[in-house]
Structure 1
Amino acid sequence: MKFKDSKYVEKMSEITNELYKHGWDERNGGNVSLRLTQDEVDQFDDLDKTLRNIPIKFDATPLAGQYFLVTGTGRYFKNVHNYPERDTGLVRITDEGNSVDLLWGFNDGGEPTSEFPSHLMTHINRQKVDSNQRVVMHCHPTNLVALSFTHELDEGSVSRLLWKMQAESLVVFPEGIGIIPYMTPGTNEIGQATADKMNEFRVVMWPHHGIFACGDSMDEVYGLIETVEKACMIYTAIKSQGGDILQSITDDDLRDLAKSFNVTPNPNFLSMQPINN
């Protein structure tokens, strides 16, 4: 079986197209990486040689030998489903950790996304938390970015706000949402700050820019981002209707939700004093 016909390439094409259609990955904004296991790679008969070696600006030694299907730098998500072998690539982290071996894709000379070091830093930290987590996704959800301009950038306040916008929020991201300061994208500094937050959270806001999220599958991470953005969209709609909240989900409601769905909300956030929005 050829890798281009695999379910992994198919899912990457589907998800990147959905992200684009939502308006979260304009132009060449956004990137996705999926970790594959050795057994998953071994089932394909066209991944037995290195096409070329690509340097990376990060020491990824802790991930040496691991495989990642990743979107390319400068690539438009609206094109991935038509040109997956050009706009994505399967790479293996070398033993030295400072480069990757390209096994498939990037057939026009392309390279992994400029945010690949940030992805790898998150993969390193999340594997320590949950070895099943294998996807990192970055995009620019409109209402989440807007919220970062108008709301205090406090993790507890933002998390509680989004929990109270819809019942699904607490169930999908009970640990809340992490927030880093505004930082220049494409740098190792923003990658490390994000990875540090990923020790506690599966979703991190990049103020005035976008979101970083991780999980077990592309569907799960897409759904996580979708849920966060829906909560932000509801808040945007409330503000556009005048901003007066006459009734809402209470803290006791949140506790009942947590009990019913067997999730553990971040206790530091649930016990905070009520906020005025």
Structure 2
Amino acid sequence: MKDFIESPYVRDMAKTTNNLYRHGWDERNGGNVSLRLTKEEVEAFSGTDKVLREIPIKFDASELAGKYYLVTGTGRYFKNMIDYPERDMGLVRISDAGNRVDLMWGFNDGGEPTSEFPAHLMSHIERLKQNPNQRVIMHCHPTNLVAMTFTVPLSSKRFSRTLWKMHPESIVVFPEGIGVIPYMCPGTNEIGEKTAAKMRDFRVVVWPHHGVFAAGDSLDETYGLVETVEKSALIYTTIQQQGGVILQSITDKDFRDLIKRFDLKPNEEFLTPDAATELVK
């Protein structure tokens, strides 16, 4: 039986965090990722059968009692994770009481889960209610999307329609649109609660002037979701750099054609244009 460090979960986490760093979305110790694993997936590898440490968490996660999460560590640089996975990430199990986690592997220098871990767990709870296959929460700082939060009104509908109009892939990849919350102090349960409430309807939630929280079935799928949102934001930014004059764009009829072609279930509220949300005519 192979040790857990040789598992595809550690490998994929290291690869994904390295890609996030190389994209410039997770500078210094910015960003965090958590991946839910099943008991069977964990027990298929050695070195995960005893509790190494008990780590308190400032959130009642009893709703997730017994679940395992591979999570990045607080204060860790994503650029280093590919070289030091057993130091910079850890496998934890939520205790029955929900007020601590049991460390089963990793954080071998005394580290702990990201300070945003309570916010991750809140979003995991909400996404599990929507889709039991959802197992990833990813927080990162996509440059062009963050820049938009300084110049575009902080409206979920306005952001969603603007990004949809930048590229036909957008409505295909995130037909529900994206959620936007007000600016809030990061690292608090309050921002976690606000984010989780939006996660009931959206897989991507924008933290203005900061970054995004995104949810998905796998690390690749979640990464691709953020990548698509950021590509549309990049196109929008490029248009503004070219003078911001739009002569033609994807229309509402084009949206309907895409919905029919790809059998989408879009956010009908966001499909209806109005003067307040039409940044891109």
TM-score by length of 2: 0.98
**Which residue in the other structure is 2:125 paired with?**
124
Q: What are the equivalent positions in structure 2 for 1:127-138 lying under 5 Å apart? A: 127-138=128-139
**Which residue in the other structure is 2:190 paired with?**
189
CA distances 1:149-185 after superposition (whole Å, capped 9, x unpaired): 0001111111000000000000000000001100000
Aligned partners of 1:123 and 1:136 also within 8 Å: yes
Write the distance in 1 (CA, Å) between the matches of 2:147 and 2:263: 32
Write the distance in 1 (CA, Å) between the matches of 2:162 and 2:33: 27
Unaligned runs of 5+ in 2: none
Write the distance in 1 (CA, Å) between the matches of 2:135 and 2:244: 39
**Which residue in the other structure is 1:176 paired with?**
177
Aligned partners of 1:145 and 1:208 also within 8 Å: yes
Tell me which amino acid in the other structure corresponds to 1:19.
L
**Which residue in the other structure is 1:115 paired with?**
116
Aligned partners of 2:92 and 2:105 also within 8 Å: yes
Q: Please state whether the residue corresponding to 1:165 is helix, strand or coil.
A: coil
Write the distance in 2 (CA, Å) between the matches of 1:169 and 1:39: 35
Aligned partners of 1:133 and 1:215 also within 8 Å: yes
Aligned partners of 2:162 and 2:279 also within 8 Å: no
Q: Please state whether the residue corresponding to 1:265 is helix, strand or coil.
A: coil
Q: Which runs of 4+ in 1 moved over 2 A?
A: none
CA distances 1:201-258 after superposition (whole Å, capped 9, x unpaired): 0000000000000010000000000000000000000000000000000000001001
Aligned partners of 2:119 and 2:196 also within 8 Å: yes
**Which residue in the other structure is 2:66 paired with?**
65
Q: Alignment length, in residue pairs? A: 277
CA distances 1:123-161 after superposition (whole Å, capped 9, x unpaired): 001101100000000000000000000001111111000
**Which residue in the other structure is 1:237 paired with?**
238
Write the distance in 2 (CA, Å) between the matches of 1:45 and 1:165: 47
Tell me which amino acid in the other structure corresponds to 1:51.
L
Q: What are the equivalent positions in structure 2 for 1:1-277 lying under 5 Å apart? A: 1-273=2-274, 275-277=278-280
Q: Please state whether the residue corresponding to 1:132 is helix, strand or coil.
A: coil
Tell me which amino acid in the other structure corresponds to 2:38.
T
Identity level (%)? 68
Unaligned runs of 5+ in 1: none
Write the distance in 2 (CA, Å) between the matches of 1:152 and 1:260: 31
Write the distance in 1 (CA, Å) between the matches of 2:149 and 2:210: 9
Tell me which amino acid in the other structure corresponds to 2:157.
G
CA RMSD of aligned residues (A): 0.7
Write the distance in 1 (CA, Å) between the matches of 2:85 and 2:232: 32
Write the distance in 1 (CA, Å) between the matches of 2:174 and 2:49: 39
Tell me which amino acid in the other structure corresponds to 2:206.
M
Aligned partners of 1:122 and 1:198 also within 8 Å: yes
Tell me which amino acid in the other structure corresponds to 2:161.
R
Aligned partners of 1:156 and 1:272 also within 8 Å: no
Q: Please state whether the residue corresponding to 1:23 is helix, strand or coil.
A: coil
- Please state how far the C-alpha of 1:272 moved relative to its aligned partner: 2.2
Q: Please state whether the residue corresponding to 1:249 is helix, strand or coil.
A: coil
CA distances 1:84-129 after superposition (whole Å, capped 9, x unpaired): 0000000000001000000000000000000000000000011011
Write the distance in 2 (CA, Å) between the matches of 1:125 and 1:156: 21
Q: Please state whether the residue corresponding to 1:181 is helix, strand or coil.
A: coil
Tell me which amino acid in the other structure corresponds to 1:11.
D
Aligned partners of 2:158 and 2:279 also within 8 Å: no
Tell me which amino acid in the other structure corresponds to 2:153.
E
